[in-house]
Amino acid sequence: MKKGEFQEAFSILIAAYPHIDFPPNTQTLHYEMFKNHDYGIYRKALLKHIERGKFPPTIADIRECLNELLSSENNIPSLAQIEREIKSIISTKEGESWRKSDYNPISIEVMNDMGGISICRMMQQTEFERKIKTGYSQVVKHYQNCLVEVRKFTPLEHSEPTKRTGLKELNKAFTEALEIELEE
């Protein structure tokens, strides 16, 4: 998103909450956190928050709204769909092949998180159901973070913790906002 587009979208917040003073460092921090997003999605997230929130949004509030919007637009599969796909994969007989490209990448990642095909085949039904719920929530949360942070979905074990949480970007934004405040 360009700076002009961001300012246009941020002006929606100023109009929606006229009694709130948004200092320049707040705007700078918001821009740093959301500059890689599409203007339309960011604007929709702001409007979504305004529709349901009495108070101005925090960055976490906007991220939550972005998360909801991006999840619905990117058709994140349900737990039941993931379970069906994993059962289909593990029911493949030994020696037969299956292609990763035929399955949702979230299904593959959940299955890997559960220990892989061999481990999944040996699990009791109750353990399978418990592990699939846990794996699903972790992988989907990571996938949603990738969407919100506008980066490629990578397997959990191969991504750096700072990239998963966005701490690096947050620290940079805080530092820049503090520098601006000190200059004034």
- The pLDDT value recorded for residue 22 is 85
pLDDT over threshold 60, residue 165: no
Long-range (24+ apart) CB contacts under 8 A made by 42-45 are 42/1, 42/6, 42/9, 42/66, 43/9, 43/12, 44/69, 45/69
How is residue 48 written in tokens? 């979504």
pTM score over 0.75: no
pLDDT over threshold 80, residue 183: no
- The pLDDT value recorded for residue 172 is 62
Task: Indicate the DSSP class of residue 158.
Answer: G
pLDDT over threshold 60, residue 174: no
User: In which band, very low, low, confident or very high, does the pLDDT at 16 lie, cut at 50, 70 and 90?
Assistant: very high
Angle at 150 between CA 68 and CA 133, to 5 degrees: 50
Q: What is the pLDDT of residues 100-142, one digit of tens each?
A: 888 888 888 899 888 888 888 889 999 999 999 988 888 888 8
SS3 41: helix
CATH number of 3-73: 3.30.70, 3.80.10, 1.10.8, 3.60.21?
1.10.8
What DSSP string runs through 65-87? HHHHHHHHHTTPPPHHHHHHHHH
- The pLDDT value recorded for residue 179 is 63
Per-chain mean pLDDT for the chain: 80
What DSSP string runs through 19-33? TS---HHHHHHHHHH
The answer to whether the CB of 153 falls within 8 A of the CB of 143 is yes
Q: What is the pLDDT of residues 28-69, one digit of tens each?
A: 888 988 888 888 888 888 999 999 888 888 888 998 888 777
User: In which band, very low, low, confident or very high, does the pLDDT at 163 lie, cut at 50, 70 and 90?
Assistant: very low
For CATH 1.10.8, the residue range(s) in the chain are 3-73
